[in-house]
């Protein structure tokens, strides 16, 4: 059985954690598969949005501890987790977590590492680490205080409480709660809107917002200026202006369109 399913449709790549018999707990094989899949998605210009979800009745129950402690030193095991976390956060396309069932520990932090989170009413979340004698990983210690503030982050991490989808939404940890039978259609519609967006502008916007969490105003303004220069160098800005004038929807490609740079340019460089 493939531990990670990859499906492509209309510019959307869906990665499905596929160990439903273990509620998609992540073992060494799945960590390696996730790392390879995220690396591939970051290189593929055909991918305009990415969905992360789980097979069966769970999103992800965290790291798989069913086989007990590993003989591999934790320093080496954590290296893979770190690489996966960074690849997910730094992916240049918008990412959506579709959460049904449990999302706990590293699984919840992978969901939080996505740009948008869609959950169903039966979703349940927990920073379960302290119940296992551990502390947060996969970016949880960095994400939680930025998303919910320090006190609520400490509540979630120290007490390892389980909260439901509506509680998570009230805290700003879930973007939408959608009925179970509507979740697939909702995510399809959401990703279609993201795919229709200007890819360079979306990548710049995502990076600016992520960097802005720790930037000064002066640093943020400098970043915005650099981002706009990159945006104006695409055909998408002209297309947006033309579409506005024509009263039609714009068709964005992210193509490079600086005057005088067309000579000798290959199609795959656009």
**236-261 pLDDT per residue, tens:** 999 999 999 999 999 999 999 876 65
| Cβ neighbours, 10 Å, residue 20 | 15
Residue 264 has pLDDT above 50, yes or no: no
**Three-state SS letters, 143-163:** HHHHHHCHHHHHHHHHHCCEE
Pull the structure tokens for residue 232.
Answer: 């104006």
Domain residue extents for the chain: 4-195, 199-259
Share of the chain above pLDDT 90, in %: 88
Burial of residue 192 (number of CB atoms within 10 Å: 0-12, 13-18, 19+): middle
Residue written as token pair 């000579």: 263
| CATH no. for 4-195 | 3.90.226.10
Segment 49-57 shows an average pLDDT of 97
Confidence of residue 71 (pLDDT cuts 50, 70, 90): low
Residue 265 has pLDDT above 90, yes or no: no
Segment 18-27 shows an average pLDDT of 96
Q: In the prediction, which pLDDT does 260 show?
A: 63
What is the Cα–Cα distance from 178 to 185, expressed in whole angstroms?
A: 10
Pull the structure tokens for residue 209.
Answer: 């917002």
223: helix, strand or coil? helix
Q: In the prediction, which pLDDT does 206 show?
A: 97
Confidence of residue 72 (pLDDT cuts 50, 70, 90): confident
Confidence of residue 74 (pLDDT cuts 50, 70, 90): confident
Q: In the prediction, which pLDDT does 76 show?
A: 79
Tens of pLDDT along 100-139?
Answer: 999 999 999 999 999 999 999 999 999 999 999 999 999 9
Q: In the prediction, which pLDDT does 35 show?
A: 98
Confidence of residue 263 (pLDDT cuts 50, 70, 90): very low
Segment 24-28 shows an average pLDDT of 95
CATH topology of domain 199-259: Lyase 2-enoyl-coa Hydratase; Chain  A, domain 2 (1.10.12)
Q: In the prediction, which pLDDT does 73 show?
A: 72
Residue 60 has pLDDT above 60, yes or no: yes
Q: In the prediction, which pLDDT does 68 show?
A: 63
The pair phi, psi for residue 17, each rounded to 5°, is -65, 125
- The whole-chain average pLDDT of the chain stands at 93
What is the Cα–Cα distance from 232 to 185, expressed in whole angstroms?
A: 34
């Amino acid at each position: 059985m493939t531990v990670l399913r990859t499906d492509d449709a209309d510019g959307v790549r869906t990665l499905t954690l596929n160990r439903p018999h273990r509620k998609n707990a992540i073992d060494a094989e799945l960590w390696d598969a996730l790392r390879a899949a995220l690396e591939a998605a970051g290189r593929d210009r055909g991918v305009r949005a990415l969905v992360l979800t789980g097979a069966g009745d769970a999103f992800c129950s965290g790291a798989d501890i069913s086989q007990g402690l590993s003989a591999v030193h934790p320093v080496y095991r954590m290296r893979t987790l770190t690489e996966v976390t960074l690849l997910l956060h730094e992916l240049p396309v918008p990412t959506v977590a579709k959460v049904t069932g449990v999302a706990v520990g590293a699984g919840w932090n992978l969901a939080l590492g996505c740009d948008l989170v869609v959950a169903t009413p039966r979703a349940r979340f927990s920073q379960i680490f302290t119940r296992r004698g551990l502390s947060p990983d996969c970016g949880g210690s960095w994400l939680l205080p930025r998303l919910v503030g320090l006190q609520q982050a400490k509540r979630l991490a120290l007490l390892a409480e389980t909260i439901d989808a509506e509680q998570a939404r009230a805290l700003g940890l879930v973007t939408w709660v959608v009925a179970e039978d509507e979740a697939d259609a909702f995510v399809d519609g959401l990703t279609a809107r993201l795919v229709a967006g200007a890819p360079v502008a979306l990548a710049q916007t995502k990076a600016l917002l992520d960097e802005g969490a720790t930037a000064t105003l002066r640093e943020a303004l400098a970043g915005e200026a650099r981002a706009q220069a990159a945006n104006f160098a695409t055909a998408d800005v002209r297309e947006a202006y033309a579409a506005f004038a024509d009263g039609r929807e714009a068709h964005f490609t992210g193509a490079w369109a600086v005057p005088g740079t067309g000579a000798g340019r290959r199609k795959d460089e656009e």
